[in-house]
Chains A and B, each alone.
Chain A
Amino acid sequence: GAVVSQHPSWVICKSGTSVKIECRSLDFQATTMFWYRQFPKQSLMLMATSNEGSKATYEQGVEKDKFLINHASLTLSTLTVTSAHPEDSSFYICSARDFGSYEQYFGPGTRLTVT
């Protein structure tokens, strides 16, 4: 149980284009989802927290207009990187948490490369 998937697992896009990453909870209802980014050989940095049906809460320093997060259903959250640039290249990981639970379940990650 408690499986989280991400799609795509890797994506290459050209500078200036937008990319959408999906995060799904497969066997539970994810009332809260978290988006992290991880640079090579670094730790995970929380980008934003999203609750189903509400606007996402972004961490300090994260551009909300650049990283659009939508959590429209209890099993799906999306992260859209708009007008991507090479510095946005990173490993993006989502996690999901059920209502009343403290434990987060992590997706397998999405490798984004912007050329």
Chain B
Amino acid sequence: AQSVTQLGSHVSVSEGALVLLRCNYSSSVPPYLFWYVQYPNQGLQLLLKYTTGATLVKGINGFEAEFKKSETSFHLTKPSAHMSDAAEYFCAVLDGGTSYGKLTFGQGTILTVHP
């Protein structure tokens, strides 16, 4: 079974500082990996995804993530945090094989941005 671990349920940064949200996964097949953002009482918005090809993927709002197979990681970064980045972030892996299409989510990381 696939699994996703997000290290740190809460991350706090100052406005303008680097944002680093960690995600590690386990998968028996080449994974498709996703980062989503959720604002309070809203659904999920896709930030970025990795399927194949270039391991550094860029997403919306200045976020990017790097797929590192050797470390089974897909950490999310943003060089300079903005107040509007405060939200909850979920890393997810897409199952392959017979359960194609099922997303497995990490526990989520709440990002707080201080002025």
A interface, CB within 8 angstroms of B: 4, 6, 32, 34, 42-44, 46, 49, 91, 93, 95, 97, 102-104, 106-109, 111
| B108 and A42 contact, CB distance less than 8 A | yes
Q: Pick the contact of B41 from A91, A103, A107 — CB < 8 Å?
A: A91
Count contacts between A and B, CB distance < 8 Å.
Answer: 46
By a CB distance below 8 angstroms, the chain B residues around A44 are 44, 90, 105
By a CB distance below 8 angstroms, the chain B residues around A4 are 43
Q: Pick the contact of B101 from A49, A106, A107 — CB < 8 Å?
A: A49
By a CB distance below 8 angstroms, the chain A residues around B23 are none
Closest to B100 in A: A102
- Could you tell me how many residues of chain B have their Cβ less than 8 Å away from some Cβ of chain A? 20
Chain A contact residues, majority secondary structure: strand
When chains A and B are docked, how far (Å) is the Cα of A111 from the Cα of B36? 19
When chains A and B are docked, how far (Å) is the Cα of A44 from the Cα of B41? 13
Q: How far is the CB of B98 from chain A (nearest CB, A)?
A: 11
| A102 and B101 contact, CB distance less than 8 A | yes
Once A49-B101, A102-B100 are accepted as A-B contacts, the answer to whether A43 and B106 lie under 8 Å apart by CB is: yes
